[in-house]
Structure 1
Amino acid sequence: MLVDYPIEDRFILQEHGRCPFLNESNLCDIYTELGEDKLCETCTNFPRHITEFGGTREIGISLSCPVAVELIMKRTEPISFTVSETDEKITGYNDIDASLYFELCQARDTAYAICQDRSMTIKRRAALLLDFSFELQKKIRKRKCGDVTGQYSDREFLKKRLSVLEKKYSGCKKTERLLGEWLKVYDGLEHIKPEWTDMLAGLNEFVSAGIIGAGRLAEKVNVREYEYEHLLVYYVYRYFLRAVFDGRLTEKVQLACAALIMQEMLGCVFCSEDGRLTFERQITAMRIYSKETEHSEENLEVLYKNFRKNKAFSYRAIMGIIFGSGLLP
């Protein structure tokens, strides 16, 4: 669904959708010349993201930013985060449960460790991440997350749990149907850029044809597996702790796994066209996907609703896709 707006409410973008105020150094002329307070609402809110948890403020830049996605994805080492203290006075606290917040902070550190464990393929990491969130969800109401976090910090436990998951979900035969249901949902979202509509058309064709050669293509797509690692870490950083506000943790991780699977599928489509997945096409796909899903609160809410109620996006369905589709080697 591509939404059009009255001409007086927009300005004309340059070729490839580039903002005319973005200079050759990818810096905004409005910001440079006039200051931050002169930015429009969209540019003020995006691509930066800021979330406050009591006296802690977390700041990041969305993957929709061309410079940010390039800097993040070209890094071969695991991503780390910088923590600093300021003299800024706290003007007010948001209403969060402090005990749950600290439990989720510890759990997120474990989630990072799972995502960045390069002794495992990205498929296994994604499966354990989703499984971890599913088990945590059961404990959130009683504030017993620490028990689960301890288990999933143990390598021997992870090996045994992974064996159970692979045995249970590797034989999933419904992946094409499930992915077809996914694409119906994505087709129904508000589309911000025409390029996204074209990408979805390619995905629909790939899935309709039975994701032929997914396993072979996935081997080529995952040559730079660290890019998908960074993708998972990005979503965990940005969304995991937001469960402190609504108690819904699993859907935040479902969002990460859905992004991973969609990017893996796009990579397969590009590989089938070009014989390989270039870095440029990879970051373009990540940038556009981020913009289409993260820059629209309506789109995010539709996805969250589907994670909660649509069986095609359930824990079991995503596990089946991870292990049974061949999209993740």
Structure 2
Amino acid sequence: MIYTYPDYYKKFSCIADKCPDTCCGKWQIVIDDDSLEKYEDYNGEYRDELRRKVNWKEGVFRHGRSGKCAFLRDDMLCDMYIHMGKNSLCTTCREYPRHTEEFENVREISLSLSCPEVARILMNITDKVTFATEEDDEDEVFDDFDYFLYSNLEDIREEILNVIQDRSVDIRSRIERVIQIGASAQRHYDEGDLVMWNECEERDKPEIHGEHEEHILLQKQAMFLIEELELLYDDWEDVLIESQELLFGQGEEAFAGNRKRFDAWWRNHGGCAPHMTLDIFLEQIIVYFISIYLLGAVYDDNISGKVNACVGHAVELYMLLMARWLRNGETLSVDDLIELSYRYSREIEHSDENLEQVEVLDWFGL
């Protein structure tokens, strides 16, 4: 078995009650079968409290009047953990924000950007993210696993990471090349050829839009987030609607001017922090999503859909940050980067429906 993880993986440690937006909040936490059975058999002095706060029919933890997990105390610590110990935690509570993608004899382990502490770590990394590998003697076989396609996808991902982390090239050109690689790989796969990402043709290049067409496209993407995706938090819809108005409410000319000033502010004046340039921010977001989701195409054959979605997430975060910059009076902080990154991730990555939707959207076509 091969295990891979990003180089910042071991930097993470839960900050518990210091977290600005606890994962014990409004999420519905599903209890794994083993933990549920353990709770049913528990006969300690905390038994009555435990039984009252578990929804046994649904296999989830109940929420209190505040809408947060019933075990979350006013001091933001877990009451079950305090009374029953670390081993009492269910799989979700024990492992989050660690996330694992499973392939035959491979486990790709990552940290979810939806955690504020993970977002803080990533938003303070300026070096190119690399990935570590470990092995053990475990062996397994997946039925109908297309190892040949998987191997090709590994090569494609390696090339995409090389392209997006090549800081000698401007970020827009890097992004266009990434989209082209995804389109080329998908075309070759659909034609029954080897997945030859490097044999690109003119038709594989992303369409270059003028300012007017790009304005229409960005509006379309923004409306997709509001109208087509499952909204997990009520106040997230407020963020999207406010952003839509700030970005597009005064017309195309105002949008173009705001965008130029936003880019100039970030590029020429250090932005929200001297260490986090706009190019590095976009690079880190794309690396994050590509590293987690691209290899999943071995299960659904949707190579270009995954590539485009990973790039699309970076574009949407850029737009949300520009809206926040406008709302703040043309300024932005690292805290804004952290907050919008983890909140966006929660809405996308914590919904299977949304993950499927973003991979079938025509992100860059009018």
TM-score by length of 1: 0.76
Aligned partner of 1:326 in structure 2 is: none
CA shift in 2, pair 1:253/1:46, >3 Å: farther
Poorly superposed stretches of 4+, deviation over 3 Å: 11-15, 19-24, 27-37, 43-47, 314-317
Query: Residues of 2 paired with 1:71 and 1:22: CA distance?
Result: 26
Aligned partner of 2:3 in structure 1 is: none
CA shift in 2, pair 1:36/1:282, >3 Å: farther
Tell me, yes or no, if the aligned pair for 2:185 and 2:197 is still in contact at 8 Å: yes
Deviations for 1:49-100, whole angstroms, at most 9, x for unmatched residues?
A: 211111011111110011111112201100001100023x335425321111
Q: Please identify which structure carries the higher helix content.
A: 1
Query: Which of 215, 222, 245 is 1:176 aligned to?
Result: 215
Query: Which of 103, 112, 125 is 2:161 aligned to?
Result: 112
Query: Residues of 2 paired with 1:233 and 1:202: CA distance?
Result: 28
Tell me, yes or no, if the aligned pair for 2:226 and 2:240 is still in contact at 8 Å: yes
Query: Which of 126, 134, 142 is 1:84 aligned to?
Result: 134
Decide which structure has the larger Cα Rg and report it.
2
Aligned counterparts, 1:122-161, within 5 A: 122-141=171-190, 142-145=192-195, 147-149=196-198
Tell me, yes or no, if the aligned pair for 2:105 and 2:140 is still in contact at 8 Å: no
Query: Residues of 2 paired with 1:95 and 1:253: CA distance?
Result: 24
Aligned partner of 2:11 in structure 1 is: none
Tell me, yes or no, if the aligned pair for 1:263 and 1:285 is still in contact at 8 Å: yes
Query: Residues of 2 paired with 1:267 and 1:287: CA distance?
Result: 13
Aligned partner of 1:272 in structure 2 is: 326
> Displacement of 1:257 after TM fit?
1.7
The number of residues matched between the two structures is 290
Tell me, yes or no, if the aligned pair for 1:180 and 1:207 is still in contact at 8 Å: yes
CA shift in 2, pair 1:217/1:233, >3 Å: same
Query: Residues of 2 paired with 1:104 and 1:61: CA distance?
Result: 21
The answer as to 2:257 corresponding to 1:204 is no
Deviations for 1:170-190, whole angstroms, at most 9, x for unmatched residues?
A: 425223333333233211322
Query: Residues of 2 paired with 1:176 and 1:165: CA distance?
Result: 20
Aligned partner of 1:216 in structure 2 is: 261
TM-score by length of 2: 0.69
Letter paired with 1:209: Q
CA shift in 2, pair 1:230/1:94, >3 Å: farther
Aligned partner of 2:112 in structure 1 is: 62
Letter paired with 1:183: A
Letter paired with 2:241: A
CA shift in 2, pair 1:23/1:56, >3 Å: farther
Query: Residues of 2 paired with 1:198 and 1:52: CA distance?
Result: 35
Percent of aligned pairs with the same amino acid: 24
Query: Which of 144, 155, 163 is 1:95 aligned to?
Result: 144
Instruction: Specify every segment of 5 or more residues in structure 2 that has no aligned partner in the other structure, as ranges.
Output: 1-25, 29-52, 56-61, 272-276
Supply the RMSD in Å over aligned alpha carbons.
Answer: 3.4
Tell me, yes or no, if the aligned pair for 1:239 and 1:252 is still in contact at 8 Å: yes
CA shift in 2, pair 1:314/1:190, >3 Å: closer
Query: Residues of 2 paired with 1:108 and 1:95: CA distance?
Result: 22
Instruction: Specify every segment of 5 or more residues in structure 1 that has no aligned partner in the other structure, as ranges.
Output: 308-312, 318-329
